[in-house]
Structure 1
Amino acid sequence: MTPLVASAVLLAAVTHASWNAIAHRITDKLVGFTLISGGGVLIGLAALPFTAVPAAAAWPYLLTSAVVHVAYYALLMTSFRLGDFGQAYPLARGSAPLVVALLAAVFAHEVPGAWAMAGIVVSCLGLTGVSLWGLRGSRPDWAAIGAALATGLTIAAYTVLDGLGARASHTPLGYIAWLMAIQGVVIPAYMYARARGDTLRLLRPHAALGLLGAALSVAAYALVLWAQTRAELAPVAALRESSVIVGAAIGALLFKERFGAPRLAAAGLLVVGIGLMLHAG
């Protein structure tokens, strides 16, 4: 992993945490995710005339990923509804990198070297530490924890699908434009089926914030897809999840959630993990 790739993924981590915070801030989760996914559709459609069509080999990955993304959004909405942002977000993101490493080894024949694997493991320890600190002094909400872990599995699945798909597409920008245009219609359609004539009335008060979240979401994933065409999937996934540190800080600053010494220690572990992965590159 080169410094340029690492910088792109770290920027993606910041933008990713930011759009997740926006999604959490909008009280009605269906409204928030309708705006974010619907905005992604608009951005994808606007980009289509300026990007190449993905190669035929990429379409099975793209279409399967679109289905997995819908499951991801549904589970993420549930996680945010049931748990604190500072707990649900790190647990969902932090559970994914090791699964990505396993799936990448099986399907992409990418077995991380010793330094990269050490970086992935250390990073995951840091990510898990952020999540476990959110449970300190409180009774575990197993429904929220289960939803967050299930979200992590969908993250791992679409990470590998899209990494392989973007490589096969020969056009990462074209791949993400089509992905956004296809997968983003489901949640707005569900919103309309539920609200009917009240849809615009419900969306209007949050439109600007939700569309900002959509732009951040597309930008974050475009950076990650580009990185996945230039580095192995597992280290990119682990580095991307540094967004949980940003997410924990946002939870503390905006949502008045706890952030203490254990989370600082977890952030330190994550930094060490990043250093190990860069050393491997």
Structure 2
Amino acid sequence: MPYHIILLVLFAALLHASWNAALRGGADRLWSMTIMCVAVAIASVAIALFLEAPAQTSWFYAALSAVLHVGYNLFLVRSYKVGDLGQTYPISRGSSPILITLAASVFAGETVGPIAMIGILLVSGGIISLAFRGRKLAVPSLPYALGTGCFIAAYSVTDGIGVRLSGAPMAYTVWMCALWGILMPLVYIGVRDAKSLFTFRPGFMTAFIGGLISLLAYGIVIYAMSAAPMGAVSALRETSVLFAAVIGYLFLGETLTVRKILACVVIAIGTIMIG
């Protein structure tokens, strides 16, 4: 994998951990996530006006990915409702690289070399180990965290295929994100109401800026998947748990144990093997 791709994906991992921490720290996470999506929609439409549309063959994948992203949002919000960042985040992010590698093999005909495959397994294993408490995987939100991981795998492979058919990674990204950013507020209004969505409250700017950060982070990942294997890119992206562990310790009052440090070392070794 080219070194500039590795550095870009690691930067996206830092951005991803940042906006997840902002979401986890919010009081009304469904509202915060929806405001993030509003920001994504506004920015995406503004950028799309200056770009040519992606190839028509990629539009099905963009629409499917937008729907899958809404499912991911709902599962993520639910998992954070009953679990902390240090447990929920590793399960959802750690399960996705292996799922993506398998799905990319089936649907996109991708193959990963043995060393990179070991690296992916180390990254996923190290990430998931962060969720253990002693020898037990006691995660109250486990079904939703695993569901979140499945949605991550589904939309990642969908976008990996779509962006390669699009002929224009940036245009594909912003149009898909625009669709996603429009769908999520509609879902929120259906679940609650329009008045509560558009009522200004504390945390609005944090959520709005978080949405812009999430757009940049995922745009980088989609670009990387247009030039590198999806499973390897996903595993590198999920090193965001390293940043999440530090952010959770510094700002959310979560613990940083010897187990977490050792897991971070395993993740780092896996990252080097992928690179």
Matched to 1:215, the amino acid is L
TM-score by length of 2: 0.96
Aligned length: 274
Say whether 1:181 aligns with 2:178: yes
Change (3 A) 1:130 1:139: closer
Superposed, which structure 2 residues align to 1:90-129 within 5 Å?
Answer: 90-129=90-129
Please say if 1:234 is aligned against 2:231.
yes
Match for residue 268 of structure 1 among 234, 241, 265: 265
* Structure 1 vs Structure 2 CA RMSD: 1.5
SS in 2 for 1:111: coil
| 2:207 equivalent to 1:247 | no
1:8 matched to which residue of 2?
8
C-alpha displacement of 1:187 = 2.5
Q: SS at the partner of 1:151? A: helix
Which residue of structure 2 aligns with residue 149 of structure 1?
146
Counterpart AA for 1:182: L
Please state how far the C-alpha of 1:139 moved relative to its aligned partner. Answer: 8.3
Distance 1:32 1:275 in 2: 35
Whole-Å Cα distance in 2 between the matches of residues 159 and 200 of structure 1?
A: 30
Query: Does structure 2 conserve the Cα–Cα contact (< 8 Å) formed by 1:79 and 1:147?
Result: yes
Write the distance in 1 (CA, Å) between the matches of 2:106 and 2:196.
Answer: 47
Please tell me whether the aligned partners of residues 122 and 267 of structure 2 are also in contact (alpha carbons under 8 angstroms): yes
* Paired residues for 1:162-173 under 5 Å: 162-173=159-170
Asked if 1 retains the 8 angstrom alpha-carbon contact of 2:169 and 2:222, the reply is yes
* Unpaired segments ≥5 residues, structure 2: none
Structure 2 CA distance for aligned equivalents of residues 56 and 197 of structure 1: 36
Deviations 1:187-207 (A, max 9, x none): 322333423334333x43222
User: Partner letter of residue 169 of structure 1?
Assistant: S
* Pair 1:121–1:137, CA change in 2 (3 A): closer
Question: Following the alignment from structure 2 to structure 1, what is the Cα–Cα distance between the partners of residues 259 and 97?
Answer: 21
Judged with a 3 Å threshold, the aligned counterparts in structure 2 of structure 1 residues 198 and 225 are, in CA distance, closer, same or farther, namely: closer
Question: Residue 197 of structure 2: which of 180, 199, 203 is its match?
Answer: 199
Return the structure number with greater helix share.
1
Give the TM-score normalised by structure 1.
Answer: 0.94
Instruction: State, as a whole percentage, how many aligned pairs show the same letter.
Output: 34
Pairing 1:40–2:40 present: yes
Distance 1:106 1:190, change over 3 A: closer
Deviations 1:131-160 (A, max 9, x none): 22xx34888244x01100110000011111
Instruction: Show the counterpart of 1:67.
Output: 67
Tell me if the contact between 2:66 and 2:183 (Cα under 8 Å) persists in the aligned partners. Answer: no
Query: What does residue 259 of structure 1 align with?
Result: 256
